[in-house]
Amino acid sequence: MIIKRIVQCVLCLSILLAGTAQATSMTGGVHHSVNMCVFDLMGKNGALFQAFKEFKTESLKLGLEIKLKAYRDERIATEDFKAGVCDLVNVTGIRARLFNQFTGTIDSIGSLPTYEHLKIVIETLATEKAAPLMVSGDYEVVSIIPAGAIFMFVNDKRIRTPETMAGKTIGVLDNAPEMPKLVALAGMTPVATSLTNLYSKFNNRNIDITAGPAVIYGPLELHKGLEPDGGILDYPLMQVTIQVIARHKKLPRRFGVEIRNYSTVMFDRAIDIIKRSEEQIPKKYWVHIPEIDAIAWTEVFRQSRISLRDENVYNGKALRLFRKVRCKLQPASPECTAKNKE
């Protein structure tokens, strides 16, 4: 149940992929056949796998025949892709860093505070000028799909700033290098968790803070952990994406360019679906973060990113692009004049 509901936050993928029927300008008679490792925690019955079945149908019109193989474990799908079992794979942005550090940095802590920021970045990366950034060695990122913002859930609405989080317990997954940095900077107490017990720990008051997309609120009954005094901070921790990685030599010419271009056309429709999940959460739970507190969070996030950049987890060039986008939309932000800019 947990996994099924989390996957539903990317149901918009089926809209995006089905829309490739309109992007038929690249057919040239050349026919390519490839295998795709499809990661879907619900297997062949999951929303993602069904979406890629539509992608398979439409890709025939683009000169590409795709054979799908379902995987319930993202790690195994990734390893099989690396081993050559398949030529395409869909992964979360964090795991995409294994193949393209630049696009994998999109899913970095605090880099893109709103969907407007994310839209500008995805549109920029879909341009012809940015095409070289989408290729890293044998791999090409052919699509970047928004999967929703990650918010912090707290069991006390007074926990809303880095200072008030000091000493509070937070669930930390072992595959997210961002969290230890944030936890250390804010002085929180980390509690090792898995995806299967992260939210039950919050509901049972074993931890004070957790994080996730809005889509999990209802299915995982997070009102239990939020009652009586808890809330959801409306300042996103990060944006999550699903990225489709391919061996570019196995694709028809310009396949990646055409798919990325059409992905930007579908962005607004995808975000509308994501926002509906956010709007279904009762307003009483949303905790507005005023500008002065947002500035404090911005600095904590920035220091986390700089540290992870220096450890070669985040791509420095990508972080500079994201800073330019933030400063374009919020030129008065202190980070725009900081000496140690990203």
27-37 pLDDT per residue, tens: 444 467 899 99
Sign of torsion over alpha carbons 4, 263, 243, 245: positive
The pLDDT of residue 78 is above 80:
yes
Domain ranges in the chain? 2-148+240-279, 151-237+286-311
pLDDT of residue 334: 87
Exposed, middle or buried: residue 245 (CB in 10 Å: 0-12, 13-18, 19+)?
A: buried
121-146 pLDDT per residue, tens: 999 999 999 999 999 999 999 999 89
271-282 pLDDT per residue, tens: 988 899 899 999
Task: Report d(CA 255, CA 246) in Å as an integer.
Answer: 10
pLDDT of residue 31: 67
Fold matches, 2-148+240-279 and 151-237+286-311:
yes
CA proximity to 148, closest of 328, 276, 290, 15:
276
CA dihedral 192, 228, 298, 183 (to 10 degrees): -20
Quote the mean pLDDT of the chain.
86
Segment 138-160 shows an average pLDDT of: 94
Rg (Cα) of the chain, in Å, rounded? Answer: 20
- pLDDT band (50, 70, 90) for residue 105: very high
Pick the CATH number of 151-237+286-311 from 3.40.50.720, 3.40.190.10, 1.20.1270.360, 3.50.50.60: 3.40.190.10
Q: Which fold has domain 2-148+240-279?
A: D-Maltodextrin-Binding Protein; domain 2 (3.40.190)
